[in-house]
């Protein structure tokens, strides 16, 4: 759709540093939770890209202001019509519109309409391949982002949105793990314990204590560069003792830091994944 101008497309994939999406994933023999976070932006070849770890794609994305195309930065050359990048989907599409992906492969808008998420109704757009050389499909909700993905062939992995943080607003469940309240006895002080085991592969347990009820308790995991890679806790909690399990199955070996923020109490500790 050359020259087609569409002003509403950014709302279907809100690329802003700090936005994140938490998915459940299922494949033939396993499953779990996975978080995608927009960690930073950068200008590459005079175009502004956003770094985020959507599965099945490279790390850098942008939305073209004229065509509504979502592009993935490609260090290997990209497509002939758009050097240095590859089309992901074209948010400007109407139902049955197709857009050149690369060569003979085309992406098609297979469905539009609405979807109910987190108690609200949103406009949606669904995309898949015109020629089924891959099972990759993605579904977008306006003001939310990608709410469903199916990747891989012949046995695809599915990703279903559980919750997200978009422009500072929390929707649904954004935690990656189950949180257990060990005791309702009021501790004498706030505390954050060293995770156990440490080093670990792939799971470890983090214990912490709250002296009073806190409206928003968060435990976030960061890599050595300071990029947030996971949110383990993000909710109101009453006074007591808690434990949360961090599953590092989708993370590479290395040093990570987890940070507890509970009102004025902030503490950070170091942990190591060894695979």
Rounded mean pLDDT, 58-81: 82
Whether residues 256 and 149 share a domain: the answer is no
User: What CATH number is given to the structural domain containing 211?
Assistant: 2.60.40.1930
CB 258 within 8 A of CB 221: yes
> Does the pLDDT of residue 58 top 60, yes or no?
yes
Whether residues 168 and 186 share a domain: the answer is no
Whether residues 68 and 196 share a domain: the answer is no
49-53's contacts with Cβ under 8 Å and 24+ in sequence apart are: 49/73, 50/15, 50/16, 50/17, 52/15
Q: What is the predicted pLDDT for the residue at 212?
A: 94
Domain assignment of residue 148, yes or no: yes
Angle at 169 between CA 39 and CA 167, to 5 degrees: 45
pLDDT tens per residue, range 77-101: 777 777 888 888 888 889 988 876 6
| Confidence grade of residue 187 (pLDDT, cut at 50, 70, 90) | very high
Q: What is the predicted pLDDT for the residue at 1?
A: 33
Total domain count for the chain?
A: 2
Whether residues 46 and 162 share a domain: the answer is yes
Whether residues 57 and 150 share a domain: the answer is yes
| Confidence grade of residue 24 (pLDDT, cut at 50, 70, 90) | confident
Domain with 220 in it: 179-273
């Amino acid at each position: 759709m050359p020259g087609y101008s569409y002003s509403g497309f950014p709302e279907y994939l809100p690329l802003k540093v700090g936005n994140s999406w938490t998915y459940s994933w299922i494949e033939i023999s396993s499953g779990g939770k996975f978080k995608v976070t927009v960690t930073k932006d950068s200008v590459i070849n005079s175009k502004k890209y956003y770094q985020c770890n959507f599965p099945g794609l490279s790390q850098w994305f942008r939305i073209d202001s004229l065509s509504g195309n979502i592009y993935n930065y490609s260090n290997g050359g990209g497509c002939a019509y758009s050097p240095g990048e590859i089309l992901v989907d074209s948010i400007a599409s109407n139902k049955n519109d197709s857009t050149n992906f690369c060569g003979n492969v085309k992406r098609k808008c297979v469905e539009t309409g609405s979807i109910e998420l987190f108690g609200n109704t949103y406009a949606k757009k669904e995309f898949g391949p015109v020629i089924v050389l891959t099972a990759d499909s993605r579904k977008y909700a306006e003001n939310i982002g990608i709410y469903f993905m199916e990747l891989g062939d012949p046995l695809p992995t599915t990703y279903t949105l559980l919750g997200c943080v978009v422009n500072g607003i929390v929707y649904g469940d954004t935690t990656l793990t189950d949180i257990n309240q060990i005791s309702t006895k009021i501790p004498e002080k706030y505390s954050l314990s060293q995770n156990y085991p440490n080093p670990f592969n792939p799971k470890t347990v983090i214990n912490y204590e709250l002296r009073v009820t806190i409206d928003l308790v968060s435990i976030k995991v960061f890599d050595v560069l300071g990029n947030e890679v996971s949110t383990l806790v993000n909710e109101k909690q009453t006074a007591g003792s808690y434990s949360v399990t961090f599953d590092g199955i989708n993370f590479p070996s290395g040093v990570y830091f987890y940070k507890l923020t509970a009102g004025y109490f902030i503490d950070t500790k170091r942990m190591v994944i060894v695979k």
